[in-house]
Homo-oligomer: A and B are copies of this chain.
Amino acid sequence: MISYDDAVKLILSIAGPSQSVQKPLQEALGYALARNIYAALDQPPFHRSPLDGFAFRAADTAGAQPHSPTEFNVIGYIPAGTVFDTPLKQGEAVRIFTGAMLPLGADAVAAQEKVFYHDNSLFLERQYSVGENVARAGEDVLCGSLLLTAGSLLGPAELGLIASQGISDLPVYPRPRVAILTFGSELLEISDSLSVGKIYNSNRYLLEALVSRTGAIPDYRGKISDERDELAQAIVWACQEADFVLTTGGVSVGDHDLTPAAVAASGAEILFHRVAIKPGTPALAARFGNKIIFSLSGNPAAALVTFLQFVLPALQLARGIDWRQQVVKAVITKSFPRKKDQTRFLAANTIFSGGRFVSEPQSIQKSGVISSFRGVNSLIIVPPGLGELAADSMADVQLFPQIFDNLPFTGREQ
């Protein structure tokens, strides 16, 4: 039996990103960058007007006042996307529109609603400073500067920024493929009629959704017979075709817990089997070449908790994401007994309220009870030890915003 901390360390020490691939920009949302990206252009690429108005030489407005405005001769008209080639001379201005390039010589812009304009004459009633109302070339991004660092997650702003550089594809870490094998002769597919002694295979859907939420690709492998050698063969095939293999069921210690025997028979190296946690004690991890096999309990709440503790970090690291547990200190609303050698995870709802996180454990905490995870967003950690984790004391609480929809903030009605 391995401790929780040692099991996590072991997984983190062997998980990591695979070979990077080039992705077109429009498919890169949510990927992690595999290399630093440098700017090849100034952005904006030229001095431009951020508004509709007039461009001119700021020096020409020296001494301008309401009763003594400077008059300009308006010599041109520059919509965005067009170029005005004639340099501005003293006393000259151009009509300019948002996004258009300033002509040579112009170094300030007056907003159209702040000026007096008649025929081809513009009157400015105050001094303008150099650079006023000008979006300078490179003010967003300087050519040659570091645009995004390796490991950056590509969200909407990052993709917009990359597009503004005219970069059309990117080196990213691919989404890992995760084979899902659910073992158990009691399992029915949801299209089957229920018969006595059987249950529906809910772990398939639970795991497919968990894998999808990590950004990996689930690959459910169908029903597999409960014979050790067939399980072992299914594991070998899955390791050949996928980057990770997840199994549920058959990892306890009974005569019918074939999974550990099947994993061993597949030729994989067992990293650990049984972890000092609850739920999910029987969890197993193994290495098959550079693939990782996780065998989780068939009990859905146990499978969910061990997925979050061991599989989620491995899948995030595989995607090139700098994985950190999102842990906050929260006031817990109920006491819970501690055990000397066991880390306990409690399904809980955590909200930020009154300036602190408050975490309320669900009333039923059982391996087989998945309904306790309805709408839940967090796990309270009950560390090993003596006595109890007292009500109203502070505990470490893990948040999983990648996985759960309910956010830990109370929200505000508008």
Contact = CB atoms under 8 A, between A and B. Distances in A.
Given A325-B412, A401-B407, A412-B324, A160 B252 contact: no
B97 A209 contact: no
A349 to B, nearest CB: 12
A190 B167 CA distance: 7
Contacts of A44: 199, 368
Interface stretch (A15-23, A58-66, A79-87): A79-87
Chain A interface: which size bin?
35 or more
Number of identical monomers bound together in the oligomeric complex:
2
Q: Which of A83, A97, A298 has the most CB of B within 10 A?
A: A97
A185 interface: yes
Interface of A: 5, 8-9, 12, 25-26, 29-30, 41, 43-46, 50-52, 79-83, 97-101, 112-113, 135, 139-141, 147-148, 152-153, 155-168, 184-188, 190-192, 194, 196-210, 212-213, 252-257, 298-300, 304, 313, 324-329, 352, 355-356, 364, 366-371, 373-376, 399, 401, 403-407, 409, 411-414
27 contacts: A9-B414, A25-B190, A25-B205, A29-B208, A52-B257, A80-B186, A80-B256, A97-B254, A99-B298, A112-B253, A135-B366, A139-B364, A140-B369, A140-B370, A153-B406, A156-B209, A159-B208, A160-B373, A161-B370, A161-B373, A163-B206, A164-B370, A167-B190, A324-B411, A324-B414, A326-B409, A401-B407
